[in-house]
Amino acid sequence: MANAPFGFAPVRNMAAGGDLPTRMYRVTATGNTQGLFIGDPVRFNPNGVGIARVSGNAAANTRILGVVAQMFDDNGRPLTFNQPNRGPFLPSSTSGWAAVYDSQQITFICQVDGSAAETLVGQYVSLTAATNGGNTAAGTSIMQLRAASADTSAKMFQVLGISPTESRGLGSFANASGWGNTDIDLEVRIALHSLTST
């Protein structure tokens, strides 16, 4: 795909079945320091109640609760598009609610910030530091995976393979010809989950 980061999008449930369950979590004004976008990874707020966005420059061993699926205001009303330039996101210092894909069994697709070789499969990666903020017009995250962080030491995410939706691999078995390209989409799982001890 072209260089168009979109954060994290759920792709499948490894526990079988097509369900991609979410749970509602509080977002406080004081915990929302960067704004919160659809597709952003989140964690429990380390400075209070609710959840907080995981910064692109967060430590590689930061635990992840899940990924934002939808945003709501304080009264539980879904945030919608207010076009031409306002997507459904919570600006910084704004409170509300977020529906979060928090199951450890859900896998996600996300764009990698550089060239990705097949040797990444099974390795662990963190986020790209330059991707704080989001696409305010669409309300979506611009988070990416940091290709240079890949190794065998446990980090936020583990690479499972090339995304089944990666267009540059279409026509080859398991999209294998997509490897080696820049800005391809990878399928990952949350390796360091907030709900586990390992």
Distance CA(183)–CA(193), nearest Å, equals: 25
Provide the domain count of the chain. Answer: 1
Of 91, 70, 92, 79, the closest CA to residue 23 belongs to 70
Cα–Cα distance measured from residue 32 to residue 142, given in angstroms and rounded to the nearest whole number:
17
Domain that residue 20 falls in = 9-190
In a domain, 4, yes or no: no
Residue 71 belongs to some domain of the structure? yes
Does residue 195 form part of some domain?
no
What 3-state DSSP class applies to 147? helix
Query: Does 165 reside within a domain?
Result: yes
- Pull the structure tokens for residue 148: 């240079």
Give the three-state DSSP class for 68: strand
Q: Is residue 118 part of a domain?
A: yes
Per the domain annotation, does 2 fall within a domain? no
User: Going by DSSP bridges, is the β-strand pair 157-162/124-125 parallel, antiparallel, or unpaired?
Assistant: antiparallel
SS3 category, 119: helix
In a domain, 147, yes or no: yes
Is 127 part of any domain?
yes
* 198 residues of the chain, pLDDT tens digit each: 567 889 999 999 988 777 899 999 999 999 999 899 999 999 999 888 999 999 888 899 999 999 999 999 999 999 988 766 788 999 999 999 999 999 999 999 999 999 999 999 999 999 997 777 889 889 999 999 999 999 999 999 999 999 988 877 777 888 888 888 889 999 999 999 999 876
Nearest-angstrom CA–CA distance, 8 and 67:
7
pTM for the model: 0.93
